[in-house]
Amino acid sequence: MMDGSANETVANNPERQRYELAVDGHIAAAYYEKANGVITFVHTEVPPELGGKGIGSKLVRGALDHVRAEGLKVIAQCPFVKAFIEKHADYQHLLKR
């Protein structure tokens, strides 16, 4: 576990169409569009202050866990989300085929 990560949880913010992870006063976000049981991840942003700490991966993992719980299929337009899913076989079944 990362230092101080006990309070860091990924939350869905439907009003902004993004999953968020707040760390050290900064927000990392994975933006999405949702329609017909499919969520399309379009962009992921990690503030430069949080770079290199695994925050992007933690954000995407948490977002995909939410998606799995909702029973949605995933389209990974965002290159970061796409690469994450390719590296983690336990999320590949979520991809819309």
Nearest to residue 81, comparing CAs of 62, 72, 97, 37? 62
**Whole-structure pTM value:** 0.91
Which whole number is the average pLDDT over 31-51? 97
Q: What is the pLDDT, as a whole number, of residue 8?
A: 76
Residue 3 has pLDDT above 80, yes or no: no
For the cut 70, the answer to whether the pLDDT of residue 4 exceeds it is no
Give the separation between CA 64 and CA 49, rounded to whole angstroms. 24
